[in-house]
Amino acid sequence: RAHYPMATRYFLEYDEIRQGNWGPDCEALGLDAGPLMARHVANTAAQLQDRVPGARTYTWNDMFDPHHNAVADYYMMRGDLAGSWEGLPEDTIIVNWHHTAESLQFLSDRGHRQLLGNITGANAQATMDRAADIPGVMGLFFVNWGRNAADWDIETAAQVFHDRFGQ
C-alpha cells in the first residue's frame, strides 16, 4: 500500500488463460480447473482486501462465464472450468466483452454489476439492445485491441449508451 497509497480500484487480469491445472501443486490439490480458478480468484480478492480494505475489483468475464471460456476443453486447460465463477466476490465488477444475452444475464443473476467492454460505434446499438433489460449494466469500457482510434467511434457508443440507459 505504501507504493500505491491512492489506489482503490484494481483490475484482476483473469483473461484468456490458455493453459493450467497441470503442475504437481495443482494435482496435489485434487481440484478440477474451475474450482482451482475459483480458489485462486477468491484468495487473490481476500489478500487484496486485507491489504487495501474497501478496494474495488474488476475483471474480465471470459474465464468466469460458462457462455464464454469457462467451459471444458478450453485450449490447454486440464479439466473443466465450470464453477470458476464461484470464487468471484459478488462486488467484483465484470467487464463483459462477450455481450451475449446469456452471458450478461448469467453474471447479473450472480449479483455482479457489469461494464460493457470492447464497444465501438459499430457494435454499440446491438450491444445496448441485448443489455437493455439486464440489471446492473453500469457503463462502457473501451479498449483498442490493436484498432485505430478512428475505428472506436467512442462518441457514438457513448451516445447510444446514454440514450438507452440515461447515464
pLDDT given for residue 30 in this prediction = 95
Whole-angstrom Cα Rg for the chain: 17
Which one has a higher pLDDT value, 145 or 35? 35
Cell numbers at residue 109, please?
443473476
Strand 56-60, strand 9-12: pairing: parallel
pLDDT in tens, 74-108: 999 999 999 999 999 999 999 999 989 999 999 99
